[in-house]
Amino acid sequence: MTNQISASGTGRAALRAFVALVLSALCGLSALFGVSGANAQDVDLLINVDNRETVSLDGDWRTIVDPYEVGYYDYRWHPSQWGFFRDDTQRDKSQLIEYSFDRSPQLKVPGDWNTQRDDLYYYEGTVWYRKKFDFTKRSDERVFLYFGAANYDARVYLNGEQLGRHIGGFTPFDFEVTDKLQDGENSVVVKVDNKRYQDAVPTINTDWWNYGGLTRRVMLVRTPRTYVRDYMIQLDPRDPGKIKGWVQVAGDEPSRLVTVSIPDTGISTTVKTDDEGRANVVVDAPGLELWTPEHPRLYDVLIETAGHALIDQIGFRTITTKGHQILLNGEPVFLRGVCIHEEAPLRTGRACTVEDARTSLGWAKDMNGNFVRLAHYCHQEQMLREADREGILVWAEVPVYWTISWDNKDTYENARRQLGEMVTRDRNRACVILWSVANETPNSDARMKFLTGLIDTCRTLDPTRLVTAALEKSYQGDSTVVINDPLGDHLDVIGCNEYIGWYDGMPDKPARVRWQSTLDKPVIFSEFGGGALYGLHADDRTRWTEEFQADIYRNQVEMFREIDFLAGTCPWILMDFRSPRRTLPDIQDGWNRKGLISERGEKKEAFGIMRAFYGEKLREQE
Ligand code: GCU
């Protein structure tokens, strides 16, 4: 049968539909891979900045709090092309200017503004940041202005010219500034607005503090004129004896020879990139020491082209599923997890340092953990680098949380871009085994379309990892619990949040329910637990005491032992965290108290219960 497309009436409609389908697919792919016509931030991201030549812009930045956004809109609310809050040098004494960076207070970058100044604790609005720096240009280089993240809506200006805008509070972005930098003094100005909106991602309603600002590191990244911009170097899950991936070169001469090698092993291959700078990589990789929690072997991987040699530290492993089991390197693994918000241990505020990452991951290991769920958004890159080094498996997620505007195209594009930025930044990190596209999202046709689109995007960007989401449970009768969310059919691993014993019944209820899974897929309890104020003690029927919380955990552990399809557990949550929803005086005071540890690092009684349970699971595995 020929696949001719006829021009008849019905054929014409079919032809139109077919052409529309092809065009949308090409737009989708082009948007994804930063090919011509795509938004400059659609996954076109400089990765592995820690192994590149950088100039840090961290430190003190001058700041102006601007709740009425007079620095951007005129009095008729017309936006300005360049922002009014430009630099304030070369002023004439007669000029009418009603602001001055030089005379304004400073904020530390990286860092949220809420915990740096009492007057900004609840602030949601715009803060203008300015940093002056000296720079000496080189003729043979490109320079990028790179942000680890800015929450939530950032407009960036360099020497008075708007470079662009980034929306999304937890993923990196960069702008090429090669031809915009000047020799000597430069001035970068950033308008950061953390107002919440229904159509945003996350939406207006969350259970965490809306920390605003330049919350992660800012730097200049220097590269040769032609440079290695992006790559994916991982084991082929279908053939673990091979490395399969690709490299992306950018700059003056994108089509060129690129060598990928692992000096410790003698593995090496040379490929020729196409006119777009891209080339696939497939090379036999015999005898690699596979990355595991017990032996997190990282190899130096060199990606070299004439004039540019980029090194990365990459672990090699496979992650697959078989029925109800998750297989790491072909072996069943039980995920002994804990959820983590990006609340800085001990000092509080948005976590943004490698010490913050080490403290949180150290506490997870103290619990005999081998897995963390980085809720509910993309965490700082140092967290993933440390988890790679420490051998801690990771569930990473985008803030598609609760009641997202499922029908809004811009909302979908926003979520897809944030997912793309997260996957692009971290798809060479062995520790990441799960990408999650949603948390506790009410089912509807629009939600299914939105989320299956994100799932497809995920699999296109990274065919080597598993896709999951945190779903909600439901009851059949009063004691049979099922997970029958239709999204489960599209996932590799089912995440399920359940608060039996806290929101659902009293602490002894978990021991009285029976679970059923309708899907032949691994299930992780991606949240469970209850609240307690550290140091509050009474009988175990008194809410908010450590005894009440511990009783929930004891009964939850009893319940886990009866569930044969359970592949992992993730208590909510490692440490107490700030949330404006949690206002109970003398107990919550603006904190969600479901931590197993207080924000001061004090371990609650329930911590010991999880530590003992995970110790058992660890011994079972040995
Ligand atoms: C939900 C939600 C969390 C929230 C938690 C709670 O499951 O996913 O973000 O903090 O419950 O109620 O504490």
pLDDT band at 22 (very low <50, low <70, confident <90, very high): very low
- For residue 39, the domain's CATH number is 2.60.120.260
pLDDT at 490 over 70: yes
DSSP 378: P
pLDDT band at 89 (very low <50, low <70, confident <90, very high): low
Within its chain, how far is the Cα of 237 from the centroid? 23
Ligand 1 binding pocket includes 497 (Cβ within 6 Å) = yes
> Among residues 150, 149, 147, 152, which one has the least CA distance to residue 195?
152
Residue 279 lies in a domain: yes
Residue with the smallest CA separation from ligand 1 atom 6 is: 207
Ligand 1 binding pocket includes 572 (Cβ within 6 Å) = yes
Are the C-beta atoms of residues 454 and 400 closer than 8 Å to each other? yes
Residue 300 lies in a domain: yes
Residue 231 lies in a domain: no
Structure tokens at 482: 């099922």
* Beta-carbon count within 10 A of 1 CB: 3
Quick one: what percent of the chain has pLDDT higher than 90?
86
pLDDT band at 8 (very low <50, low <70, confident <90, very high): very low
Per-residue burial over 411-450, b if 16 or more Cβ lie within 10 Å, else e, is bbebbbbbbbbbbbbbbbbbbbbbbbbbbbbeeeeebbeb
Residue 431 lies in a domain: yes
Tell me if the bond preceding 571 is cis, omega within 30° of 0: no
**Do 363 and 253 have their domain in common?**
no
- Strand, helix or coil for residue 402: coil
**pLDDT score recorded for residue 15:** 53
Give DSSP secondary structure letters for 506-532.
-TTGGGG-EEEE-SSS-EEEEE----B
Strand partners, 496: 471, 525
- In the numeric block, the tokens 């032609």 are attached to 226
**Do 248 and 361 have their domain in common?**
no
Q: How far is the CA of 499 from the centre of ligand 1 (A)?
A: 9
pLDDT tens digits, 35-77: 222 333 347 899 999 999 999 999 999 999 999 999 899 888 8
Residue ranges of alpha helices (H) inside 440-488 are 445-461
Ligand 1 binding pocket includes 592 (Cβ within 6 Å) = yes
**Do 500 and 394 have their domain in common?**
yes
pLDDT band at 6 (very low <50, low <70, confident <90, very high): very low
Ligand 1 binding pocket includes 397 (Cβ within 6 Å) = no
Residue 359 lies in a domain: yes
**Do 158 and 186 have their domain in common?**
yes
Q: How far is the CA of 394 from the centre of ligand 1 (A)?
A: 19
Q: How far is the CA of 439 from the centre of ligand 1 (A)?
A: 9
Boundary-marking domain end, from 257, 285, 317: 317
CA distances from 479 to 368, 496, 513, 515, 523 (A): 31, 17, 5, 8, 19
Ligand 1 binding pocket includes 439 (Cβ within 6 Å) = yes
Q: How far is the CA of 281 from the centre of ligand 1 (A)?
A: 42
How far is residue 315's CA from residue 305's CA, in Å, rounded to a whole number?
22
- Strand, helix or coil for residue 248: strand
CA distances from 456 to 244, 419, 441, 449, 589 (A): 20, 11, 18, 11, 41
**Do 175 and 220 have their domain in common?**
yes
**Do 262 and 339 have their domain in common?**
no
**Do 389 and 426 have their domain in common?**
yes
pLDDT band at 509 (very low <50, low <70, confident <90, very high): very high
Are the C-beta atoms of residues 523 and 551 closer than 8 Å to each other? no
Q: How far is the CA of 108 from the centre of ligand 1 (A)?
A: 30
Domain residues for 277?
Answer: 238-317
**Do 389 and 505 have their domain in common?**
yes
**Do 263 and 369 have their domain in common?**
no
Residue 529 lies in a domain: yes
**Do 312 and 354 have their domain in common?**
no
Residue 233 lies in a domain: no
Structural domain count of the chain: 3
**Do 98 and 159 have their domain in common?**
yes
**Do 479 and 613 have their domain in common?**
yes
* pTM of the entire predicted model: 0.92
* Beta-carbon count within 10 A of 479 CB: 10
Ligand 1 binding pocket includes 594 (Cβ within 6 Å) = yes
pLDDT at 599 over 60: yes
pLDDT tens digits, 404-421: 999 999 999 999 999 999
- Taking residues 462-470, report their average pLDDT: 97
pLDDT band at 98 (very low <50, low <70, confident <90, very high): confident
> Among residues 206, 198, 609, which one has the least CA distance to residue 440?
206
Are the C-beta atoms of residues 71 and 99 closer than 8 Å to each other? yes
Residue 90 lies in a domain: yes
pLDDT at 26 over 90: no
- For residue 277, the domain's CATH number is 2.60.40.10
What's the whole-number average pLDDT of the chain?
92
Give the mutation target among 572, 577, 579, 593 for probing the ligand 1 site: most ligand atoms within 8 A of CB: 572
Give DSSP secondary structure letters for 536-605.
----TTSTBSHHHHHHHHHHHHHHHTT-TTEEEE--S-SB-EE-TT---TTTTTTEE---SB-TTSPBPH
Boundary-marking domain end, from 258, 293, 317: 317
**269 or 34, which is more confident:** 269
Give the mutation target among 376, 401, 527 for probing the ligand 1 site: most ligand atoms within 8 A of CB: 527
How far is residue 444's CA from residue 462's CA, in Å, rounded to a whole number?
27
Structure tokens at 277: 């700078």
Boundary-marking domain end, from 317, 345, 360: 317
Structure tokens at 523: 């299930």
- For residue 534, the domain's CATH number is 3.20.20.80
